[in-house]
A and B are shown apart, each in its own frame.
Chain A
Amino acid sequence: MTANSIYGSYIRVPTSAFNDGDPVDVANVRDGLVNNAIHLADECAQVRVNAVFATGSYAKSGDFSTGTHIVSQFGPFPITLRPDGTSYRLRTRFLVRSANGVSVTFHVVLAPPSLAIDGFAREGTNYAKFSVTSTTETWTAPAALLYMDTGVVNASFSPPISTPTAIGEATTTSVVAAQAILTVYATQASAANARLSGAYAAEFVG
Chain B
Amino acid sequence: MTASVPVFPQYPAQFFVRAGEVVKGLTAQNVGATAMFASSRGAQLIPCFTPGDLSVPIAASATAYFKFRTQPRYQAFNRIWTLLGRSDANVVQQVTVAAPISGGTDRVYYAGTTRDNIAPFAYNEFLAAQSASTTTLTFKVANASGANFFIDSIGCFEAPRLNLDLSVSADGAVDLQTLSHRQPIYEATAKSLKGVSEAIVVARDAARRVGMFQHAWPIITGSELTQVFNTTSTSPIKIFETAAGTGVARTPFFLGRRMRRSSISGADVLTINVAVLGHVTGGSGDVIFTMANGATTTLNVTTSGATFGGTGAGSWTAGTIDIDTEDLAASDGLLGSTWDSCTIEARKNTSGTLYIAAISMWEGT
Contacts and interface: CB of A to CB of B under 8 A. Distances in A.
A91 B326 CA distance: 12
Contacts of B129: 167-168
B252 A52 contact: yes
B288 interface: no
Contact of A33 (B31, B115, B334): B31
B127 A167 contact: yes
A73 B198 contact: no
Interface stretch (B132-140, B205-213, B309-317): B205-213
Contacts of B253: 50, 93, 200, 202
Interface residues of A, number: 92
B82 A75 contact: yes
Contacts of A130: none
A124 interface: no
Interface string B164-208: 000000000000000000000111000011101110110110010
Interface string B7-32: 11111101001110101000110111
Nearest to A6: B14
Nearest to B257: A43
Contacts of A93: 253, 339
B214 to A, nearest CB: 8
A163 interface: yes
B329 interface: yes
A38 interface: yes
Given A55-B240, A59-B152, A202-B253, A70 B116 contact: yes
A81 B8 contact: yes
Contact of B194 (A19, A43, A80, A164): A19
A1 to B, nearest CB: 5
A2 B333 contact: yes
Contacts of A52: 49, 215, 240, 250-252
Given A38-B11, A40-B35, A56-B53, A78 B18 contact: no
Given A44-B38, A80-B41, A176-B7, A8 B258 contact: yes
B267 interface: yes
Contacts of A70: 115-116
Interface in B38-85: 38-39, 41-44, 47-50, 52-55, 77-78, 80, 82, 84
Contact of B31 (A34, A177, A197): A34
Contact of A40 (B44, B52, B200): B200
Given A56-B243, A77-B157, A161-B80, A9 B128 contact: no
Contacts of B7: 81, 176-177
B27 A8 contact: no
Contact of A57 (B53, B162, B198): B53
Q: Is the interface of A mostly helix, strand, loop or mixed?
A: mixed
B86 to A, nearest CB: 10
A41 B9 contact: yes
Given A24-B193, A44-B41, A52-B215, A30 B17 contact: yes
A191 interface: no
A99 interface: no
Contact of B82 (A37, A77, A198): A77
Contact of A83 (B11, B152, B241): B11
Contact of A139 (B122, B212, B328, B339): B339
A175 B162 contact: yes
Contacts of B82: 75-77
Contacts of B295: none
A43 B207 contact: yes
Given A19-B194, A57-B55, A197-B250, A37 B34 contact: yes
Contacts of A47: 44, 47, 209, 211-213
Interface in A13-64: 13, 15, 17-20, 24, 26, 29-30, 32-38, 40-59, 61, 63
20 contacts: A2-B328, A3-B329, A6-B14, A7-B261, A10-B260, A13-B197, A15-B201, A24-B185, A33-B31, A33-B193, A47-B44, A47-B212, A47-B213, A50-B213, A57-B53, A57-B54, A73-B84, A73-B153, A161-B160, A167-B127
Interface of A: 1-4, 6-11, 13, 15, 17-20, 24, 26, 29-30, 32-38, 40-59, 61, 63, 69-78, 80-83, 85, 91, 93, 95, 113, 137, 139, 145, 161-164, 166-168, 170, 173, 175-177, 181-182, 197-198, 200, 202, 204-206
Interface of B: 7-12, 14, 17-19, 21, 23, 27-28, 30-32, 34-35, 37-39, 41-44, 47-50, 52-55, 77-78, 80, 82, 84, 114-116, 118-120, 122, 124, 126-130, 152-153, 155, 157, 159-162, 185-187, 192-194, 196-198, 200-201, 203-204, 207, 209-215, 217, 229, 238-244, 250-253, 255, 257-262, 267, 326, 328-334, 339
Given A51-B252, A175-B161, 20 more contacts: A7-B261, A8-B329, A11-B261, A20-B186, A24-B185, A26-B19, A33-B193, A37-B35, A38-B11, A41-B37, A43-B259, A49-B155, A51-B48, A53-B53, A56-B242, A75-B82, A161-B160, A167-B77, A181-B120, A202-B253
